[in-house]
Amino acid sequence: MLGVQDQTGVGAETVLPRAWTKDQAWALYQLPFNDLLFQAQSIHRRHFDPNRVQLSKLLNIKTGGCPEDCGYCSQSSHHATGLPASKLMEADAVVAEARKAKEGGATRYCMGAAWRNPKPRDMDALVAILSGVKALGLETCMTLGMLDREQAARLSAAGLDYYNHNIDTSESYYPNVISTRTFTDRLETLDHVRQSGMKVCCGGILGLGESEADRVDMLITLANLPEPPESVPVNMLIPIAGTPLADARRVDPLAFVRVIALARIMMPTSFVRLSAGRTAMTDEMQALCFFAGANSIFVGDTLLTAGNPEAARDRNLFDRLGLEPL
């Protein structure tokens, strides 16, 4: 394995470690900004077309009333956010929305449900939703909370391509954010997803009050999974009134870009998704994130419950940067 000193010089011969240590990751994170971004962009170009960005569309198929207490979330029943709860949507309604997303240029369709975990009675309905969306030729992703081994196998057999389940932050900061499910519970679900043959979508949120070291630790956990996630969403907290994190300190945009760059270097073949929080990012910050290796975004003016840039703003940004949808 090469030392950090060796890793800072980029060349075709650069060998990345198989298991990242804190020292290695932290040394990269602390490089001068230009060196870090140059290295991230160089690695990005080895594995991806740097001018193509994947477009995904999200739909909340079951809103609010969630028994979990995630400190950032509008949908937790522990916080008075004023969000009305709804039941699981009918398959026809989900497929109609997915069709619109496809017509709008999305190639990947992600569906979320505000659950601790799907109940046995939900499984048939989820399979019906999946077969309808798959039939449109879209890549599919779901995020439904914890899954046991059988549920993961059933969704995989029904054609679900990706399962999203985030670790959200470092193992040591995690208890400050969520108390109703543990970091280990999360890793267990990720293992069930991996064993089922589905691809793993797993990342986190910046802006929960965590330190920069926590952010680096989170990436180490992700990169050191038996297989790194194929998709790594990096969210910037959207502060939600009524949640404990409504007044959390904003993330320094340049520190955010560093995390994107480090994710790209540590997980060179994964999609790094610039996820929640783009409405509050300047075009210049997003451009730096793309340069640092982000190559996937959510499009459409709503994420699950919160806002996202309008299509016209994203089109304008893509035009000015010469970016094309993947």
Q: Contacts from 8-16 at CB under 8 Å and sequence distance 24+?
A: 8/35, 8/39, 10/38, 10/39, 10/42, 10/43, 14/43, 16/265, 16/266, 16/268
- Tokens at 3, concatenated: 């030392």
- Candidates 91-99, 101-109, 165-173, 220-228: pick the segment binding ligand SAM (CB under 6 A): 165-173
- Could you give the CA distance from residue 252 to residue 231 in angstroms, rounded to a whole number? 24
Site membership for ligand SAM, residue 222 (CB under 6 A): no
Q: Which of 108, 154, 186, 201 is catalytic?
A: 201
CB of residue 145 to ligand SF4, shortest distance in Å: 5
- Tokens at 325, concatenated: 């949808």
Active-site residue 52, yes or no?
no
- Tokens at 19, concatenated: 């298991």
- Tokens at 297, concatenated: 């975004």
Site membership for ligand SF4, residue 170 (CB under 6 A): no
Site membership for ligand SAM, residue 263 (CB under 6 A): no
**What radius of gyration, in Å, describes the C-alpha atoms of the chain?**
19
Site membership for ligand SAM, residue 151 (CB under 6 A): no
**Structural contact between residues 152 and 163, judged by C-beta atoms closer than 8 angstroms:** yes
Active-site residue 202, yes or no?
no
**Structural contact between residues 65 and 85, judged by C-beta atoms closer than 8 angstroms:** yes
Strands (E), the chain: 52-62, 108-113, 139-143, 162-164, 199-201, 204-206, 231-236, 271-274, 296-299, 324-325
- Could you give the CA distance from residue 112 to residue 224 in angstroms, rounded to a whole number? 26
Site membership for ligand SF4, residue 169 (CB under 6 A): no
Active-site residue 141, yes or no?
yes
Binding mask 304-323 for ligand DTB (x = CB under 6 A): xxx-----------------
Site membership for ligand SAM, residue 147 (CB under 6 A): no
Site membership for ligand SF4, residue 76 (CB under 6 A): yes
Binding mask 42-71 for ligand DTB (x = CB under 6 A): ----------------x-------------
Give the C-alpha distances (Å, rounded to integers) separating 28 from 23, 36, 165, 239, 261: 9, 7, 26, 29, 9
Q: Which of 181, 186, 258, 273 is catalytic?
A: 273
User: Is 284 in a helix, a strand, or coil?
Assistant: helix
Considering only residues 64, 71, 112, 293, which one is a binding residue for ligand SAM as defined by CB under 6 A?
Answer: 112
Considering only residues 233, 293, 300, 309, which one is a binding residue for ligand DTB as defined by CB under 6 A?
Answer: 233
Residue type at position 2: L
Considering only residues 40, 59, 70, 276, which one is a binding residue for ligand SF4 as defined by CB under 6 A?
Answer: 70
Site membership for ligand SF4, residue 114 (CB under 6 A): yes
DSSP letter string, 299-312: ESSBSSSSB---HH
Site membership for ligand SF4, residue 73 (CB under 6 A): yes
Site membership for ligand SAM, residue 251 (CB under 6 A): no
- Candidates 47-55, 83-91, 133-141, 235-243: pick the segment binding ligand SAM (CB under 6 A): 235-243
Considering only residues 43, 95, 114, 147, which one is a binding residue for ligand SAM as defined by CB under 6 A?
Answer: 114
Considering only residues 53, 88, 238, 266, which one is a binding residue for ligand SAM as defined by CB under 6 A?
Answer: 238
Closest CB to ligand DTB among residues 44, 108: 108
- Could you give the CA distance from residue 36 to residue 157 in angstroms, rounded to a whole number? 41
The catalytic residue positions are 66, 70, 73, 110, 141, 201, 273
Q: Which residues contribute to the site for ligand DTB (CB under 6 A)?
A: 58, 74, 110, 112, 143, 164, 166, 203, 233, 235, 238, 275-276, 303-306
Q: Which residues contribute to the site for ligand SF4 (CB under 6 A)?
A: 66, 68, 70, 73, 75-76, 114, 145
